[in-house]
A and B are shown apart, each in its own frame.
Chain A
């Protein structure tokens, strides 16, 4: 165990000069209208709202506020387009989706910069994760378009119709890709609503889809907040709802859909346990903790927000984690060296701060890295809580920020009990050098995804979704096709 005088020092000395990504190549319009029927059209009521850069609190653009009337127009446009799109030769549908994928790669620099500007995430992540993965999803589902029968042998496959899709602010472009790609591949048309704090990459995607020559009305994108979302959910012309967001909103949607004929998938919150056994490769496990909770400012539904560490190595793990946290750079999302960007919105920052206060009031010990943070904008230093138990709110509730609650365990069974003692069940992680322990743990943890000796790894071929209050249905992989098809004998 490290003694205090043997601590490493990461402040001072050789520092990295600013290395900001240029925004010369980025074009953001002053105002974005709604994308309906292949055209940008003004919202019926003529209302717009601001989208701001959370790192500077400055306005980036204004986007249309879609009312129920606009949603109705979008659904009708989607319905009109459905007739042609669903009957199009599947290989032709695939061609359009491949084209979207390729164009996304071609414009990746601009998409990455806008994703960072509008959402606050570090350019390293939008450049290396969000945009490439979004393109990968389009590529993957484009390939399925003319092979759907082979995914479900012996069944006849039919599209559902118009899909209403509501996506969150943590991975704006990637979530749009997760939703749009399988829907189109299966022959559906869509009405998509991006989150109100991060609409810009969706609007850029609308431009791209228009440039790709996708038939008008196949993809419609309407911007707005909860009311716009509710109008989509409640619209009688929608055949399927795909929602990613909070468990609270998921409940409202499920209630609204009860008794209707609409198919739905819900991908909701999480409070994943990242479980580290004493026989794990400790240095790599520490890296996994960092990737698990500090990736995307912790705005990740499958974040490893609870650390369960075997007590014999707890001291060493926490010490190493603290040292690693001191090397994380918090700041300008456009700087290529930034590890943790801006918190997505003022509202989310307030939520996170309230949990920091709750944790301390409950008697937990809080450690935050000592990095400097900018004066303007919304920021939160990477934070860990120790001395907490299953009864602490910071252990029970989803914080959706760079905040980790650390507990210890003694036995395998204790780890499983604690990991499963949550209303959520989206993801989990296990770190051990023993293969047999990995298999036993992945079978015992009730979560949709369990990563072994890694964390937060995504691939379009892999299904993703939750148990319990983390959601219903699966997205990604072959499972993701099922959500957008009627299967008949």
Chain B
């Protein structure tokens, strides 16, 4: 399929006019978020909100249908010992596992996210990426996490990267598109800002930091720059775009810092799973442990929480 076949009203922004980012200032702002002290009722509320925003993820070469079924079981039964907990937002798997997840989750309300477009490297022809995407959607994925072609982006071929996103968004149909910038490969916050603008203008429903396969994965600095890009895009167009930091957020305390940052950058409209997600595999259990601690006053052994 040729790119010209894609009809779109999207327009590539002028990359030279994208606002610059001062890294020192970003570090200071992030440090300030981390001084917020979140206690008692607001902590419990935050922990539950975090649970509801998690994309429970397994993206390993060694994944099997059995492993994916385990993960779905975990998504459905986070910690039945504590009633009243929200369920996670989605389960995130490779396209070949979408069918398994679909069957396991049924109509539980938990979304199925699938990475596509030759995740994690993105090193494949567009035709393969489009087939990958269509297959995942056809099997039942309602969210697609794509990767951008970082090599092309870094080489300055913005038009190519832009057209790819437009084409994949088109192939997604009704499925939501999350665009992974793989910020660990972009090198500077200025490029993170540029890639964010490019992805949003190309039609991304969400922008996402990382695949989790490259270090550093999500950082608060990178996420702040992306949130600021979302805010400016919203101011200019009126369209809300979601945010998903992924990789490296394993603890409740850090996740709460992210929520503080979200609240003070984009405000309350974004404080829902519809507009903010955590891509994480081990975060859920730490959050559960903290919720339990808030309720009982003592930490329980990690062995009381299922590890899937």
Contacts and interface: CB of A to CB of B under 8 A. Distances in A.
A16 interface: yes
A8 B37 contact: no
Contacts of B25: 281, 283-285, 287-288, 453-454
Nearest to B27: A284
Interface in A454-483: 454
A10 B264 contact: yes
Contacts of B218: none
A275 B156 CA distance: 33
A18 B35 CA distance: 14
A9 interface: yes
Contacts of A1: 235-236
B299 to A, nearest CB: 21
Contacts of B267: 8-10, 13, 323
A interface secondary structure, majority: loop
| B-side interface size class | 35 or more
B63 interface: no
A284 B221 CA distance: 12
A13 B40 contact: no
B231 A8 contact: yes
Contacts of B264: 10, 327
B24 interface: yes
| A-side interface size class | 35 or more
Contact of B228 (A3, A10, A283): A283
A19 B39 contact: yes
Indicate the member of A15, A16, A124 with the most B CB atoms within 10 Å. Answer: A16
B interface secondary structure, majority: helix
B35 A283 contact: no
Given A281-B20, A284-B29, A336 B268 contact: no
Contact of A284 (B22, B41, B234): B22
B19 A283 contact: yes
A128 B28 CA distance: 13
Interface in A1-25: 1-3, 5-6, 8-19
B108 to A, nearest CB: 25
Interface string A289-330: 000000000000000000000000000000100010001000
B269 A8 contact: yes
Contacts of B38: 16-17, 19
B22 A319 contact: no
Given A281-B20, A283-B19, A337 B268 contact: no
Contact of A279 (B20, B40, B49, B271): B20
A337 B29 CA distance: 14
B110 interface: no
A128 B20 contact: no
Interface string B258-275: 010001101111010000
A282 interface: yes
A281 B21 contact: yes
A10 B268 contact: yes
Nearest to B272: A13
A72 interface: no
A453 B23 CA distance: 11
B266 A284 contact: no
A37 B237 CA distance: 69
A433 interface: yes
A9 B41 contact: no
Nearest to A283: B228
Given A281-B21, A284-B21, A16 B268 contact: no
Contact of A17 (B21, B42, B235): B42
Nearest to A431: B22
Indicate the member of B22, B26, B259 with the most A CB atoms within 10 Å. Answer: B22
B37 A337 contact: yes
Contact of A13 (B20, B234, B271): B271
17 contacts: A3-B238, A10-B263, A12-B268, A14-B46, A15-B42, A17-B40, A17-B41, A19-B39, A124-B35, A281-B21, A281-B22, A282-B19, A283-B25, A283-B228, A287-B25, A337-B36, A453-B25
Give the top 7 A-B pairs by smallest Cβ distance, nearest first: A284-B25, A13-B268, A2-B235, A19-B37, A281-B22, A8-B267, A336-B37
